Amino acid sequence: MSAERYAAMARKHWTKWLPERTAELKAAGDWESTLRTRGKWAAERVLELMQQGFQQHEAEEVALSEFILLKPEPKANLEPWERKELAQLEREYRKTHRE
């Protein structure tokens, strides 16, 4: 897979699962360059691993987890009402467990 395809994969994944990081990168004007860089790093890592004897799908699994398909942020992909409800439940929980 090409660096451009990995960058597109990162764009989709990060927008959904890393909304805070996405917003920070966009605000700083680094969104597109970060995606291109991550795509390039992933493609290079895949080639490196394949030269070491990994099959392409194995190399991609490693590279994608390192550079593209990062762990979701807490509360990622929640609707606004879900975030509000979760915040209320967390406040109630903290209040009842302080006493």
Q: Please report the DSSP string for 2-54 in residue order.
A: -HHHHHHHHHHHHHHH-HHHHHHHHHHT-HHHHHHHHHHHHHHHHHHHHHTT-
Q: CA-CA distances (angstroms) from residue 83 to 16, 65, 74, 79, 80?
A: 15, 27, 10, 6, 5
What pLDDT sits at residue 35? 98
**Both tokens assigned to 14:** 């990060």
Q: Inform me whether the pLDDT recorded for 99 exceeds 70.
A: no
Q: How many domains does the chain have?
A: 1
Tally of residues, the chain: 99
Q: Tens digits of per-residue pLDDT, 32-87?
A: 999 999 999 999 999 999 999 999 999 999 999 999 999 989 878 777 788 788 88
Please report whether residue 78 resides in a domain.
Answer: no
Q: Is residue 68 part of a domain?
A: yes
Higher per-residue pLDDT: 98 or 88 = 88
Q: Considering the entire predicted model, what is its pTM? A: 0.76
Taking 80 as the threshold, does the pLDDT of residue 93 lie above it? yes
> Does residue 38 belong to any structural domain of this protein?
yes
Q: Is residue 28 part of a domain?
A: yes
In-domain check, residue 84: no
Find the range with the poorest average confidence among 4-8, 17-21, 79-83.
79-83
Q: Give the Cα separation of 38 and 86 in Å (integer).
A: 32
